[in-house]
Homo-oligomer: A and B are copies of this chain.
Amino acid sequence: MFRASLALRRTFQPLSDRVLVSRMVSETKSAGGILLPGAEKPTNEGTVIAVGPGMLMENGSTSKMNVEVGDKVLLPEYGGTKVEMDGEEKFLYREMDILGKF
């Protein structure tokens, strides 16, 4: 669909210390070893696809971000904001809520 592919080309810039994450899904295989695509479910791991400029601190400076695009991150079980971008589910987290990176 042309409109969707156009949309995909838009870049998204998170604000503050927000981090846009694409969550990995778990693969499920049949007994015979065939991948079952309908049985995927999101895991608590993801890949960072966009990073905000940092959070505004009380002294007027901006916090340094500790994750960057491409990082594999461990996500909390709850929290995060689901956003539908270009037909795919992405998740926005405050950097302080991301547990760690691999």
Complex Cα spacing A77 to B61, Å: 28
Which chain B residues border A92 with CB–CB below 8 Å? Answer: 99-100
Q: Give A3 Cβ to nearest chain B Cβ, in Å.
A: 11
A13–B100 CB distance below 8 A: yes
Q: Give A34 Cβ to nearest chain B Cβ, in Å.
A: 17
A66: interface (CB < 8 Å): yes
Q: How many copies does the complex hold?
A: 7
A56: interface (CB < 8 Å): yes
Which chain B residues border A64 with CB–CB below 8 Å? Answer: 56
A37: interface (CB < 8 Å): no
Which chain B residues border A102 with CB–CB below 8 Å? Answer: 10-13
